[in-house]
Amino acid sequence: MEATLRNGLAALGLPSPAAPQLLDFARRLLEKNQVMNLTAITEAKDVATLHLLDCAALLTMADFRGKSVVDVGTGAGFPGMVLRILEPDFDLTLLDSLGKRVDWLRETCDDMGLSRVTCVHARAEEFTGEHRQTYDMATSRAVAALPLLSELALPLVKVGGCFLAMKSVDSDAEIDSARGAIGQLGGKIEAIRDYTIPGTDVTHRVVIIRKVKDTPPQFPRSWARMKKAPLK
């Protein structure tokens, strides 16, 4: 696992001094996964590639240094924890609606000595109330379809900031269906970047959405309304 991780970081052009911390995080993840549903990926090599290196690729697409970042629907800490371990110079909020996961993330951050990380148990659409347009960047991985995901994330991002949505490469139709919603929420698709995870033949995609104007105050709506009538 260590060799896979170090070789993968090198292939991405990222430094490897943080590799031991990433391995420590992976060990804690797999250990906790025995009693809590955190990941369906349980083979060590697959954790290194499909979780750690997949998330690390975001650092090749945007500069996180000095930024405030919210990871929406972070789950087991992806991509936020990986980004934080590899790049210590930014403020991170890990946001998730499941309290047990947030408790584990908070405990893990404390045990690993990770600073400048805030773990929040809340639904994104409710969290926006006191945190509207306060973050430089938002990230999210495999949370919801892009029209819904944009309504959860973009209201949290400052004008001029960006939202990085991690998607599959077969998401063309999903992206096209989200363009209208993104525009209504004050965003604009700036780039779509495909990448192959080092050490695999798996290709994933990042949709980079720039916040170009304020999100109207009626967004986000309740989750039930979003699901019933996604923005178009």
Domain of 199, CATH number, reads: 3.40.50.150
Q: Which residues contact 103 (CB under 8 A, 6 or more apart)?
A: 121
Contact 96, 49 (CB under 8 A): no
In a domain, 14, yes or no: no
Neighbours of 194 (CB within 10 A): 11
Assess if residue 196 is contained within a domain. yes
The answer to the question of residue 181 being in a domain is yes
pLDDT grade for 7, boundaries at 50, 70 and 90: very high
Considering the domain boundaries, does residue 90 fall inside one? Answer: yes
Terminal C-alpha separation, the chain:
43
Stretch 149-164: mean pLDDT: 98
For the chain, the average pLDDT equals 96
**41 domain-assigned:** no
CA angle 212, 215, 216 (to 5 degrees): 135
CA 38 centroid distance within chain: 15
Give a yes or no: residue 224 inside a domain.
Answer: yes
In a domain, 65, yes or no: yes
Q: How many domains does the chain have?
A: 1
Q: Which domain holds residue 181?
A: 61-228
Residue 164 inside a domain? The answer is yes
Residue 3 has pLDDT above 90, yes or no: yes
Note the pLDDT of residue 25. 97
pLDDT by residue (tens digit) across 88-139? 999 999 999 999 999 999 999 999 999 999 999 999 999 999 999 999 999 9
The whole-number pLDDT of residue 111 equals 97
